[in-house]
Amino acid sequence: MKIMMIPLRNILTAFLFLWILLSVSDAQARSSWGIGASYEVRDSNPEKGFGLRLERSILSGVPLLDFKLRAHFSYFSESVSSYRDIQLPTELDVYDYGIAATGGISFGLLHPYAGVGLGKERFDAEQSAPQGLSLSDDSIYWNLYGGLRLPILPVLNPFVEYRFTRLMSSEEFDYSHNSRFAFGIMMNF
């Protein structure tokens, strides 16, 4: 009797895994649009911000694979006590927007993905002193990113993502590349 319980438990576990795999993958295949928001932390000033993204599934007929096109926008803002060599309070703002292509694997409760994109980053620095400095610069960039979605519900998917950005042209930026972590949630419809 004990010998029969072990194979039966393995068979039930396999069926449960298969059911989770197919039900979550099927729910994801039916949702072709997604909108999301994220809290983002990057390694250069300004460091903290938020992001918005809009995604559209493409090539949805491929089993277990998930391909998407994404448009994204991020905003970072920070007040610092000094900027460069000038010891005056400065307000730093970064606007980041772009497009990207994402490929991932849809199986079970973990959906890893990776992508590549292009975009534009606008940097503004403004000092509030009477003779304050005002700098502004735009740069085109490319980025690579990878993340993990957790589709706990068919409609809501929390995610975590790491993104590396390389600026291709800049004059006023203090950096030529940056990286960030994004923590957020996607709503699929």
Distance of CA 156 to the CA centre of its chain: 15
pLDDT, position 27: 45
Element of type H or E holding 35? strand 33-42
Q: pLDDT per residue over 16-33, tens digit each?
A: 555 554 444 444 444 689
pLDDT at residue 8 tops 90: no
| CATH, domain range 2-188 | 2.40.160.20
> Has residue 35 got a pLDDT over 80?
yes
Instruction: Identify whether the C-beta of residue 134 lies closer than 8 Å to the C-beta of residue 125.
Output: yes
Q: What is the pLDDT of residues 138-153, one digit of tens each?
A: 889 999 999 999 988 8
Confidence of residue 137 (pLDDT cuts 50, 70, 90): confident
- Average predicted confidence (pLDDT) for the chain: 82
Token pair belonging to 12: 């039930």
Backbone angles phi, psi at 89, to 5 degrees: -60, 135
